[in-house]
Amino acid sequence: MHAMPIIDYLLGNQVVRKAIWKIWYPFLTKRLHQEGVIFLNYAYETDPPMGIPLAPEEEPDRACIQLYHHVGSLTDLAGKSVLEVSCGHGGGASYLTRTFAPAKYTGLDLNPAGIAFCKDRHHVAGLDFIQGDAENLPFAEGSFDVVVNVEASHCYPDFPRFLSEVARVLRPGGHFLYADFRFSESIAPWEKAIAGCPLEIRATTDIGPCVIRGLEKNSERSLALLDRKLPKFLHSLGRDFAGIKGSRVYNALVEESLSYRSYHFVKK
C-alpha cells in the first residue's frame, strides 16, 4: 500500500484522525514559528486582483490574508464579539481585528504550542487567544455575535457536533462565517451535516477558482519553505498541506474533485 492511501485510510478513523492532527500541528508549529509563519491556510485571489490595501510587511502573505478578508467581509464585524475556532498561528485573527474593528476577538485552537506562539506574536487591542477543542467549546451559551472558521473543519472527527457547538455559543441573530473544502467522496456527508444544523444559510459561494489562483501565487514561496523546514519523508504531506501547484490538493481543485466553498450562516 502506497504512503498516501495509508494516510487516507488512517484519516478515515476518527480516533486516529484526531491523534494525527494533535501530533502534526504542534510539529509544524515548532518548525515554522522560527520562520515567522503566521498563516497556515490556503490562499485566495480574484480576477481582476482584489487589491486590498496592505502594509508592506503584510505583502508576502497577501494571498492568505485575502482568504480571511473574503470570509470576514461576509458580515459586519465592527463592535461585535467574535470567536475564531481553529485560529492556527493567529495571522487571520490579527488581520481581522485590526481591519474590521470587532469589540473583542477570541482565537481558539486545539494546539497549545500554536496558542503559545499566538500570545507571543500578536499584540492587538481586543484580541486574545485560548486553547480549546472545536467540538467542546469552553464558552457559555450565547457568548458571541460572530463565529469564524477558516479551513479547519475537514480535520474534525465529528463535524455535526462542531456545528452544534457553533450554534450553541452564538447569540440569536448571530453569524457563522465559514470556509472549507471537501474531496468528492466527502461532499454528501458535509452537505447533510450543513443542511441538518440549527443555522440558516444566508449565502454559499464556490471559491475554488479564487483558491487556485491564490495557491499559484504562493507555490514558489511555499515550496522553498517546505524544503527548508520538513524532512524529505514528509514532503508529500507538506505539499498537500501547503496546496503547492501540482500537489494532490491543487490538482483536485483544478479537476473539480475537490470543492472549496464559503458560507454565511445566521442563527435562527
Per-residue pLDDT tens over the stretch 9-18: 334 444 444 5
Look up residue 39 and give its three cell numbers.
498563516
According to CATH, the superfamily of the domain at 3-267 is Vaccinia Virus protein VP39 (3.40.50.150)
Which residue has better confidence, 130 or 230? 130
Amino acid 1: pLDDT: 31
Amino acid 70: pLDDT: 98
Q: Which residues contact 53 (CB under 8 A, 6 or more apart)?
A: none
pLDDT over 50 at 4, yes or no: no
Which residue has better confidence, 247 or 144? 144
Find the mean pLDDT for residues 164-179: 98
pLDDT over 70 at 106, yes or no: yes
Q: Report CA-CA distances (Å) from 133 to 43, 107, 149, 161, 201.
A: 25, 12, 13, 11, 24
Residue 128: CB atoms within 10 A of its CB come to 15
Model confidence, pTM:
0.90
Predicted confidence band of residue 3 (pLDDT cuts 50, 70, 90): very low
DSSP β-ladder status, 144-150 and 104-109: unpaired
Find the mean pLDDT for residues 115-123: 95
Find the mean pLDDT for residues 208-236: 90
CA end-to-end distance (rounded Å), the chain: 47
Instruction: Collect contacts of 97-100 with beta carbons under 8 A, ≥24 apart.
Output: 97/124, 97/125, 97/126, 97/127, 98/124, 99/69, 99/72, 100/72, 100/73, 100/76
Q: Which residues contact 135 (CB under 8 A, 6 or more apart)?
A: 156, 157, 158, 161, 162, 165
Amino acid 225: pLDDT: 87
Amino acid 20: pLDDT: 55
Look up residue 103 and give its three cell numbers.
469589540
pLDDT over 50 at 8, yes or no: no
- Is residue 2 within a helix (H) or strand (E), and if so which, with residue range? none
Looking up cell 485575502 gives 66
Amino acid 5: pLDDT: 38
Looking up cell 464558552 gives 139
Find the mean pLDDT for residues 110-115: 90
Which residue has better confidence, 237 or 79? 79
Domain residue spans in the chain? Answer: 3-267
Amino acid 22: pLDDT: 61
Q: Which residues contact 90 (CB under 8 A, 6 or more apart)?
A: 38, 107, 114, 117, 118, 121, 122, 129
Looking up cell 487516507 gives 8
Predicted confidence band of residue 237 (pLDDT cuts 50, 70, 90): confident
Which of 101-105, 226-230, 256-260 shows the lowest mean pLDDT across its residues? 226-230
d(CA 218, CA 15): 33
pLDDT over 80 at 23, yes or no: no
pLDDT tens digit sequence for 25-78 = 667 667 776 677 999 899 999 999 999 999 999 999 999 999 999 999 999 999
